[in-house]
């Protein structure tokens, strides 16, 4: 009996050992299974990425969605998926993914800000501007504060809510440490322009002051100041404001040249106004200003004086538009005292020149290359402010968007 009991006592440690080994084996088995699962997920992620790189986004999304379902903790993967959906125009799915992240209580503040920012972008894309504004305003201080503010600024411009745009641009200056004065001056000018249409002259004056405070001698603010002074029945002061543009931004003079002539005419000084504009033509090879000077000179001094002026322009700054204006003026002269043959010749030349100048003359955005027949303060292509050169180009630019 004692021998049996001793044998059992000896067996006990062996059994403990076997038990311990079995538990280690289980653990290793479990670890190996975990490892296999991780490898499987890794392989799926790589497969998803490879499909993305091979531009098979449909299959890539399918693979990545499966991983996200298996492991809901994969935050970065959810962000990647949400952005992928948005880029593909599937905004509803993007909103669902980002909303799910934004509603999670266990996220770190950085991830929560990231989710609110992405959700705001989704709502913007979907045109749900109120919800976009609310979501973007939820983004706290941190690395997503500046991008969120940029999106808000973009949105306020689309809504033409210039007052909110001014506040957002000022706050963005603080966040980025870079100047947004050009935009701020333009937003004040937009407010001033709208107030001028409603004849709210007090608001016009204050907007101009704010714009000039943001950028002294700002061309658009000075143009508006002249318009305001004309509306206040002070053409002499309007001319003074516009004369600052003639001195500091002469390339913009064509934008106000007709009003400049009207203000001079009101003061019985049309001749002096015309002389000043003609002087500018000697330093400004501006086809647009030439159009206006030619029109007023023909009326005030007659076609012969206009021909002399145009010959002079053709000598120092030859261009297709100047040649076209010269042909136009010579046609007027020939119609009164030329032969029928000369009139027919000039008509044919003028037709050809006009076809060329109309098809080629465009304002071009210095930022995105968008070309347009009329001048814009904000490019319709890329939304940049003051990206358009105030002068039309006459060169052929075959590629690039245009209108």
Minimal distance in Å, beta carbon 212 to Zn ion?
25
Tokens of 396: 């052929």
Distance CA 120, CA 5 (A): 76
Q: Which helix (H) or strand (E) holds 96?
A: helix 91-102
Instruction: Give the residue with the Cβ less far from Zn ion, 116 or 379.
Output: 379
Instruction: Give the residue with the Cβ less far from Zn ion, 109 or 400.
Output: 400
Minimal distance in Å, beta carbon 85 to Zn ion?
28
The three-class DSSP label of residue 370 is coil
Minimal distance in Å, beta carbon 180 to Zn ion?
17
Q: Are 287 and 361 in contact (CB under 8 A)?
A: yes
Minimal distance in Å, beta carbon 370 to Zn ion?
4
Tokens of 111: 């991830």
Minimal distance in Å, beta carbon 185 to Zn ion?
18
Q: What is the length of the chain?
A: 403
Q: What are the backbone dihedrals phi and psi of residue 385, each rounded to the nearest 5 degrees, phi first?
A: -90, 145
Instruction: Give the residue with the Cβ less far from Zn ion, 79 or 376.
Output: 376
Strand partners, 105: none
Distance CA 370, CA 253 (A): 22
Minimal distance in Å, beta carbon 37 to Zn ion?
50
Q: How far is CA 178 from CA 30, 173, 206, 322, in A?
A: 55, 5, 25, 42
Instruction: Give the residue with the Cβ less far from Zn ion, 83 or 367.
Output: 367
Minimal distance in Å, beta carbon 390 to Zn ion?
15
Instruction: Give the residue with the Cβ less far from Zn ion, 252 or 370.
Output: 370
Binding site for Zn ion (CB under 5 A): 365, 367-368, 370, 379, 381-382
Helical spans, DSSP H, in 232-269: 235-248, 257-266
Instruction: Give the residue with the Cβ less far from Zn ion, 144 or 363.
Output: 363
Instruction: Give the residue with the Cβ less far from Zn ion, 40 or 373.
Output: 373
Minimal distance in Å, beta carbon 400 to Zn ion?
10
Q: Are 64 and 77 in contact (CB under 8 A)?
A: yes
Distance CA 9, CA 181 (A): 90
Q: Are 390 and 373 in contact (CB under 8 A)?
A: no
Instruction: Give the residue with the Cβ less far from Zn ion, 192 or 381.
Output: 381
Q: Are 180 and 172 in contact (CB under 8 A)?
A: yes
Tokens of 65: 């969605």
């Amino acid at each position: 009996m004692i021998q049996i009991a001793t044998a059992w006592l000896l067996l006990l440690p062996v059994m403990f050992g076997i038990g311990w080994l079995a538990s280690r084996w289980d653990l290793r088995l479990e670890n190996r299974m975990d490892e296999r699962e991780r490898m499987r997920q890794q392989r799926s992620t790589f497969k998803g990425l490879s499909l993305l790189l091979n531009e098979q986004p449909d299959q890539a999304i399918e693979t990545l969605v499966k991983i996200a379902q298996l492991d809901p903790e994969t935050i970065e993967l959810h962000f990647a998926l949400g952005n992928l959906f948005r880029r593909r125009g599937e905004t509803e799915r993007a909103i669902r993914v980002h909303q799910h992240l934004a509603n999670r209580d266990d996220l770190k503040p950085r991830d929560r800000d990231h989710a609110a920012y992405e959700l705001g972008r989704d709502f913007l894309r979907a045109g749900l501007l109120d919800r976009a504004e609310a979501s973007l305003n939820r983004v706290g201080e941190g690395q997503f504060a500046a991008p969120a503010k940029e999106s808000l600024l973009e949105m306020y411009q689309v809504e033409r809510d210039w007052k909110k745009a001014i506040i957002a641009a000022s706050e963005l200056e603080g966040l980025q440490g870079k100047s947004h004065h050009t935009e701020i001056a333009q937003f004040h000018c937009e407010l001033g322009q709208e107030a001028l249409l409603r004849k709210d002259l007090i608001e016009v004056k204050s907007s101009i002051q704010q714009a000039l405070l943001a950028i002294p001698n700002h061309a658009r603010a000075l143009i508006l100041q002249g318009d305001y002074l004309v509306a206040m029945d002070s053409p002499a002061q309007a001319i003074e404001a516009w004369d600052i543009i003639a001195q500091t931004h002469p390339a913009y003079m064509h934008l106000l040249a007709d009003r400049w002539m009207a203000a001079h005419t009101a003061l019985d000084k049309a001749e002096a106004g015309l002389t000043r504009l003609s002087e500018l033509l000697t330093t400004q090879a501006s086809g647009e200003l030439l159009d206006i000077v030619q029109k007023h000179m023909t009326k005030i001094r007659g076609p012969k004086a206009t021909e002399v002026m145009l010959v002079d322009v053709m000598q120092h700054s030859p261009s297709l538009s100047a040649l076209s204006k010269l042909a136009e003026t010579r046609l007027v002269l020939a119609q009164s005292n030329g032969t029928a043959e000369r009139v027919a010749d000039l008509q044919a030349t003028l037709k050809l020149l006009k076809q060329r100048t109309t098809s080629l003359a465009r304002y071009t955005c210095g930022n995105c290359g968008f070309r347009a027949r009329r001048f814009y303060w904000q490019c319709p292509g890329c939304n940049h402010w003051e990206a358009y050169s105030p002068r039309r180009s006459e060169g052929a630019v075959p590629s690039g968007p245009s209108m």
